[in-house]
Structure 1
Amino acid sequence: MLKILIAIDGSECSLDAVHHALKLVEKGLQAQFVLANVQEPASLYELVTSRDTDLIAAASVEAAQDLMAPALALLQQAGQECTTEVGIGDPANTLIDIIEDTGCDLVLIAARGQGAIASALLGSVSQELAHSSPVPVTIVHPIDAELAPDEDVDSADATA
């Protein structure tokens, strides 16, 4: 059975990857899912002002679990087997570590839609992951909300 990592950053866009996974399940795919969230490392200020680094780590894990909760609920409602993983560090490199540690066969990650200039300047986790991942990566683009699911794209273009 395939093991699929779904990267979740807490945005509505990241739920697109979960919806895509559920569409694949509806079409007969049998898989186990790993939801993964990567938190930023503690800042220097946090490290200097906090006396308890365990408290900082616990807060990061709690924040990650909160961000993954909607995605986890969607998968559980669909009766899908799912685990969660939390990493701390650079998102793409940490996701690669999680992929390797959990033995995932495939990655689903949502596109953020930053545009070419913003992606070139800021980079993109999905692009970096697509280039560096040891397993195939599917970048899920959002569905155009203006088109109904059953509406034919060609007929929509002809009337425009």
Structure 2
Amino acid sequence: MDVLVPIDGSECSFRALDFGIEFARRFEASLHVVHVSDSETDATAEILERARKRLREEGVADEPEVSTDVDLSFRPANQVGKDILELVAERGYDHVVMGHHGAGAVERMMLGSAAHTVVEEESVPVTIVP
């Protein structure tokens, strides 16, 4: 089993990473961590380093990666969700573990939600961590 954990630097995405580590351990699955961004910045490097540190602490061999999408200008969270679904389709992930910010209806309408986009697709089992 291959488990994908997308991270965005938020606390809920790192709670999802912790859950994903335990989930992968319990089901003897491979864990894969990705950060979707429009460009690699210092913030990206910090997010990846924080993920690397957490993975090392837990003895997980995965190397977090960045998936770059330069088209994150309109409803960026929805596009991130679509990028995650593309990774699932291309790489054959069996499960996705994602954090969710708990955005309200207005914020979802204006900005979208990556987690909502992935869940709505119903192409892969998803665990949402608040």
- Please give the TM-score of this superposition, normalised by the length of structure 2: 0.78
1:69 positional shift: 1.9
Question: Contact conserved, 1:96 with 1:133, CA < 8 A, in 2?
Answer: no
Unaligned runs of 5+ in 2: 70-78
The total of aligned residue pairs comes to 121
1:62 positional shift: 6.5
Q: Percent identity?
A: 26
Equivalent residue, structure 2, for 1:88: 68
Report the Cα distance in structure 1 between the residues aligned to 2:122 and 2:34, rounded to whole angstroms.
14
Equivalent residue, structure 2, for 1:79: 59
- Please give the TM-score of this superposition, normalised by the length of structure 1: 0.65
Question: Contact conserved, 2:97 with 2:127, CA < 8 A, in 1?
Answer: yes
Question: Contact conserved, 1:7 with 1:37, CA < 8 A, in 2?
Answer: yes
Report the Cα distance in structure 1 between the residues aligned to 2:114 and 2:10, rounded to whole angstroms.
14
Over the aligned positions, Cα root-mean-square deviation in angstroms equals 2.2
Unaligned runs of 5+ in 1: 41-56, 142-160
1:12 corresponds to which letter in structure 2?
E
Cα–Cα, structure 1 residues 98 and 65, in superposed 2: closer, same or farther, change >3 Å?
A: farther
Question: Contact conserved, 2:24 with 2:31, CA < 8 A, in 1?
Answer: no
Aligned pair 1:3/2:12, yes or no?
no
Alignment of 1:1-160 (within 5 A): 2-25=1-24, 28-40=26-38, 60=40, 63-89=43-69, 90-132=79-121, 134-141=123-130
